[in-house]
Amino acid sequence: MEMLWRLRRRQVVAVPSRQALQQARELELVESSPDEPLRLTPLGAKVSDSLSEYAYWKQRGRRHHWAEEIAALQVENLRGKRILEVGCGAGVNLLSLQRCAEVVGIDVEPLYLQFTGVLARLEGVPTPTRVCGRAERLPFEDESFDVALFHGSLPYMRIEKALREAGRVLRPGGRVLVIHGDLGQAIASRASQRRWRLLTPRVFLREVRAVGGMAVYPWLGRLFLEPFAPVYPTRRRMRRWLTQAGLRVNTHETCRIAHEVCYVAEKPAGIGR
């Protein structure tokens, strides 16, 4: 597990035991050639992501992300609701939330969804309902959920479309909860992580592309971004997209948390779509 985690973050890997290495190779999680270092296969990257989510979830006492810190995510505010997690990944939030609510997860990546079943069995809990599909075209009826939750997933989607779809499937009075970084914070954290490496032309150009691509995303979409690169818009832009999706931003409950923002927005009662 540690080997996969480190390889995912491009960290130095201590020489793994022969047995661990052989197993990882047999399972096609890692590959290497004589003159190249050990690296994860695409399957290995997904397995590493899922195992990391599971490990962090256990460290948090098997609670969903920000279960205590953000009022809108506290159990008392979610109890009895019908919740859709959009971009649920390996589904650790679903495992927690199903204790107090009816949950459905959707993700574009079938392997992550398969992992939810494995984790549920490991934990001895029911397997939550998951659907494989895209956030931009949710396979659910209008007004069928009380809460649509995006935890760390919206940056990878067509943001405006995903928010419009979330607005569509929400019942009047329902809420969208989005935990998402913003542009300023993203630039600051990228700069502090890379520091001197920014002086290397290759790293510098990659960063210019990533930050420039995010800045022009509202007009040009993902044209300049690498595939699967995240997009962190400004807070003002996010509020505009939420409003355009027919949602009313709750300025009292929207809050900053660590290096992200939790946007809380409601679908006004009495507005059908």
Ligand X SMILES: C[S@@+](CC[C@H](N)C(=O)[O-])C[C@H]1O[C@@H](n2cnc3c(N)ncnc32)[C@H](O)[C@@H]1O
Cβ closer to ligand X: 56 or 204? 56
Contact window for ligand X (CB under 6 A) among 37-45, 70-78, 106-114, 255-263: 106-114
Closest CA to 221 of 160, 165, 180, 179: 160
3-class DSSP state of 113? helix
Q: Which of 84, 88, 104, 177 binds ligand X (CB under 6 A)?
A: 88
3-class DSSP state of 101? coil
Residue 183 binds ligand X, judged by CB under 6 A: no
Cβ closer to ligand X: 38 or 50? 50
Residue 92 binds ligand X, judged by CB under 6 A: yes
Cβ closer to ligand X: 53 or 260? 53
Residue 224 binds ligand X, judged by CB under 6 A: no
- State the CB neighbour count (10 A cutoff) for residue 95: 25
Q: Which of 67, 156, 211, 240 binds ligand X (CB under 6 A)?
A: 156
Residue 117 binds ligand X, judged by CB under 6 A: no
Q: Which of 100, 108, 131, 187 binds ligand X (CB under 6 A)?
A: 108
Cβ closer to ligand X: 24 or 178? 178
- For residues 30 and 37, the answer to whether their CB atoms sit within 8 Å is no
Residue 96 binds ligand X, judged by CB under 6 A: no
Residue 267 binds ligand X, judged by CB under 6 A: no
Q: State which of positions 4-63 bind ligand X (CB under 6 A).
A: 53
Q: State which of positions 63-82 bind ligand X (CB under 6 A).
A: 65
- For residues 96 and 110, the answer to whether their CB atoms sit within 8 Å is no
The residue type found at 268 is P
- State the CB neighbour count (10 A cutoff) for residue 129: 15
Q: In whole angstroms, how close is the CB of 37 to ligand X at the nearest point?
A: 25
Distance of alpha carbon 231 from alpha carbon 181, whole angstroms: 9
Q: In whole angstroms, how close is the CB of 257 to ligand X at the nearest point?
A: 13
Distance of alpha carbon 141 from alpha carbon 138, whole angstroms: 8
DSSP string for residues in 116-185 = HHHHHHHHTSPPPEEEE--GGG--S-TT-EEEEEEES-GGGS-HHHHHHHHHHHEEEEEEEEEEE--HHH
Residue 180 binds ligand X, judged by CB under 6 A: no
Distance of alpha carbon 219 from alpha carbon 250, whole angstroms: 26
Residue 254 binds ligand X, judged by CB under 6 A: no
Q: Which residues bind ligand X (CB under 6 A)?
A: 53, 65, 87-89, 92-93, 106-109, 112, 134-136, 151-153, 156-157
